[in-house]
């Protein structure tokens, strides 16, 4: 039976060594690493989780793999495991901003998926139209009473489980959206919301163009980072929903620019309440 190790003051050094092993060999097994470093498999899994957040490894069954340098973004499956508590809190706060009868747009981000789950938890009487390019989000909401799902046409990107391309622009030009809820790979005051690929940025621009309000869904790891393609300037944002670790200086500047900032507490996925409201500061 596995047991937890005592606190390890050399954890960072061990993680750096593990990252080098994965870089050199292309992969590593939990059992082998536990034996090599004389720690439990529980500790090694924690190390791999920390390294995955940094983008240094990709966790797989029984171990970890070297990230592919040819991919501009992490896969949906990997991103869904990162900052789960923060995304659940942000998703709950975002769902609480939706008014029955609205048409809303959700991108294909993992945070928008968390929001979609909270929309399903709302009390009866919900009447929403949800336009999304996210295949997972469309599947999550399809068939739920009171929610109509609209999926634009286009090409499927397996990395993001999304639909992209100019084919969807025709639909978005014909609809009126009250609120567009957008995740992002990065956010700075200078570059605004940005994504890892131009394909994703293009469909997000089309969603934003059809919307009266734009609400950014970004956990603290996205702040201060600029990804490849900008899709929304900072001054075009109506609101930002984030977590408690977001940088205070940046949130203060957003408020100065009259962008509402909602700070949502982190929630465990299994215990996420249906309508827990965020704090606004």
Domains and CATH numbers, the chain: 11-70 (1.10.10.10), 81-269 (3.40.50.1360)
d(CA 208, CA 237): 10
175: CB partners within 8 A, 6+ apart: 103, 131, 150, 210
pTM: 0.71
Q: What is the DSSP letter of 134?
A: B
Cβ atoms of 154 and 182 within 8 Å: the answer is no
Percentages of the chain per state (helix, strand, coil), in multiples of 5? 40, 25, 35
- Write out the chain's pLDDT in tens, 281 residues: 344 444 455 788 899 899 889 888 888 999 999 999 999 999 999 999 888 777 778 888 888 888 765 455 566 666 666 778 899 999 999 999 999 999 999 999 999 999 999 999 886 667 999 999 999 999 999 989 999 999 998 899 877 889 998 877 788 989 999 999 999 999 999 999 999 889 999 999 999 999 999 999 999 989 998 888 999 999 999 999 999 999 999 999 999 999 999 999 877 654 444 333 344 44
Nearest to 220 by CA among 239, 193, 241, 190: 241
d(CA 253, CA 224): 13
> Rounded to the nearest 10 degrees, what angle do helices 41-53 and 11-25 cross at?
70
Structure tokens, 205: 């621009």
Helices (H), the chain: 11-25, 30-37, 41-53, 76-81, 84-96, 110-120, 135-141, 169-172, 198-209, 248-256
Which regions of 152-255 does DSSP assign to beta strands (E)? 155-157, 162-164, 177-182, 186-188, 192-195, 211-217, 229-232, 239-243
Burial of 6 (0-12, 13-18, 19+ CB in 10 A): exposed
Nearest to 114 by CA among 249, 2, 17, 241: 241
Q: In degrees, to the nearest 5, what angle opens at C-alpha 126 toward C-alphas 123 and 128?
A: 145
């Amino acid at each position: 039976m596995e047991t937890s190790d005592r606190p390890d003051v050399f954890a960072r050094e061990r993680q750096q060594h593990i990252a080098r092993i994965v870089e050199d060999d292309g992969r590593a097994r939990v059992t082998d690493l536990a034996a090599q470093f004389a720690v439990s498999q529980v500790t090694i899994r924690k190390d791999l989780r920390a390294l995955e957040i940094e983008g240094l490894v990709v966790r797989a069954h029984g171990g970890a793999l070297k990230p592919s340098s040819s991919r501009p973004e992490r896969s949906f499956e990997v991103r869904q495991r990162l900052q789960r508590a923060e995304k659940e809190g942000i998703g709950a706060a975002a769902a609480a901003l939706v008014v029955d009868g609205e048409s809303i747009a959700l991108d294909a981000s993992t945070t928008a998926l968390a929001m979609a789950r909270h929309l399903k938890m709302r009390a009866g009487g919900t009447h929403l139209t949800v336009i999304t390019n996210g295949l997972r989000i469309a599947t999550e909401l399809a068939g739920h009473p009171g929610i109509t799902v609209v999926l634009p046409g286009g090409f499927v990107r397996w990395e993001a489980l999304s639909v992209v391309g100019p084919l969807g622009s025709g639909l978005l030009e014909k609809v009126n959206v009250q609120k567009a809820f957008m995740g992002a790979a990065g956010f700075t005051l200078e570059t605004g919301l940005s994504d890892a690929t131009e394909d994703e940025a293009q469909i997000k621009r089309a969603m934003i163009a059809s919307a009266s309000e734009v609400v950014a869904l970004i956990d603290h790891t996205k702040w201060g980072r600029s990804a490849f393609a900008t899709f929304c300037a900072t001054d075009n944002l109506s609101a930002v929903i984030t977590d408690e670790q977001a940088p205070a200086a940046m949130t203060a500047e957003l408020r100065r620019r009259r962008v509402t900032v909602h700070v949502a507490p982190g929630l465990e996925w299994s215990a996420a309440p249906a309508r827990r409201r965020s704090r606004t500061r």
